[in-house]
């Protein structure tokens, strides 16, 4: 467990709140001269629902593909930019939206009332959307191994994917994802660790007022007991949603987290 000494701040987001401000950006500088292809697309779930996604495909792929699971606000620019940063690092990326059934596939403004839509999401249909994303990215010729990364609400979903064997995930990553407790009918990841088939990387803020140290410790212990390959990292003093370019006081934590994500992907990507 890594503990980086960074100062605590307020501004936690609840399990129903949004994790990033509207003008937030991933704390990853673009690579100068990198050539990538990024665009919005529409995918279709098994029940016939169309939903929005954003794909970014690298020109120098490393064999990995990443499904990006946003926070409660769904697909918005933070996650589209994150997909581009993954592609610059050689990882094909596909960020998805959750609200095709209730809000359609169009782009949304800053005034989008995400609360009423996220409250209507349910695990079976979320899983259908994720399966459609898995099928899409898994069909790309440059992808050999598929991962997921999620943030807050999406972090919880990402943790759950380790236990969905039909998805054949190479690994799952959660930034401050809620591992325990009830959330809109989704199972608690801590209760599903016995079914896990993929390694887990969990990244948490030590000053997160919602996901407290005892919750993180319980999740780590459950993964240990189930024999799941995992790494759970806590950044001392960092709040919920520390992974943000504006949070300059947490730049060291963000840099370390990004490096760990890329190292985790490299270590678990099938060799060509």
For 109-135, the pLDDT digits (tens) are 888 999 999 999 999 999 999 999 999
Helix/strand/coil (H/E/C) assignment for every residue in the chain: CCCCCCCCCCCCCCCCCCCCCCCCCCCCCCCCCCCEEEEEEEEECCCCCEEEEEEEEECCCCCEEEEEECCCCCCCHHHHHHHHHHHHCCCEEEEECCCHHHHCCCCCCCCCCHHHHHCCCCHHHHHHHHHHHHHHHHCCCCCCEEEEEEECHHHHHHHHHCCCHHHCCCEEEEECCCCCCCECCECCHHHCHHHCCCCEEEEEECCCCCCCHHHHHHHHHHHHHHCCCEEEEEECCCCCCCCCCCCHHHHHHHHHHHHHHHHHHHHHCCCC
Residue 21: inside a domain, yes or no?
no
Among 80-84, 176-180, 182-186, 234-238, the least confident range: 182-186
Give the chain's domain count: 1
Residue 109: inside a domain, yes or no?
yes
Residue 27: inside a domain, yes or no?
no
Residue 26: inside a domain, yes or no?
no
Among 35-39, 66-70, 265-269, the least confident range: 35-39
Domain that residue 155 falls in: 36-268
Residue 71: inside a domain, yes or no?
yes
Residue 248: inside a domain, yes or no?
yes
Higher pLDDT, 7 or 163: 163
Residue 167: inside a domain, yes or no?
yes
Residue 19: inside a domain, yes or no?
no
pLDDT at 15: 40
What's the chain's average pLDDT?
90
pLDDT at 34: 60
CATH number for position 150: 3.40.50.1820
Average pLDDT over residues 250-257: 94
Q: Of all residues in the chain, what percent carry a pLDDT higher than 70? A: 89
Confidence of residue 96 (pLDDT cuts 50, 70, 90): very high
């Amino acid at each position: 467990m890594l503990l980086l000494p960074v100062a605590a701040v307020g501004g936690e987001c609840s399990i129903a709140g949004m994790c990033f401000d509207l003008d937030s950006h991933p704390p990853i500088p673009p690579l100068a001269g990198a050539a990538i292809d990024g665009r919005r697309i529409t995918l279709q779930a098994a029940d016939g629902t169309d939903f929005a996604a954003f794909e970014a495909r690298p020109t120098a792929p490393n064999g990995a593909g990443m499904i990006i699971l946003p926070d409660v606000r769904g697909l918005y620019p933070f996650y589209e930019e994150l997909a581009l940063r993954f592609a610059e690092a050689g990882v094909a990326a596909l960020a998805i939206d959750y609200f095709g059934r209730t809000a359609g596939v169009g782009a949304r403004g800053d005034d989008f009332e995400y609360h009423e839509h996220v409250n209507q999401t349910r695990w079976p249909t979320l899983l259908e959307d994720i399966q459609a994303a898995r099928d899409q990215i898994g069909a790309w010729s440059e992808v050999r191994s598929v991962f997921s990364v999620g943030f807050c609400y999406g972090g919880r979903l990402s943790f759950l994917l380790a236990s969905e064997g039909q998805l054949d995930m190479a690994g799952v990553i959660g930034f401050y994802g809620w591992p325990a407790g009830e959330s809109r009918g989704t199972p608690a990841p801590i209760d599903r660790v016995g079914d896990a088939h993929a390694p887990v990387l969990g990244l948490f803020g030590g000053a997160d007022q919602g996901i407290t140290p005892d919750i993180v410790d319980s999740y780590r212990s459950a993964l240990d007991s189930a024999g799941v390959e995992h790494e759970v990292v806590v950044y001392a003093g960092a709040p919920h949603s520390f992974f943000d370019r504006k949070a300059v006081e947490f730049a060291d934590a963000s840099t370390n987290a990004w490096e760990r994500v890329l190292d985790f992907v490299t270590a678990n990507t099938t060799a060509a």
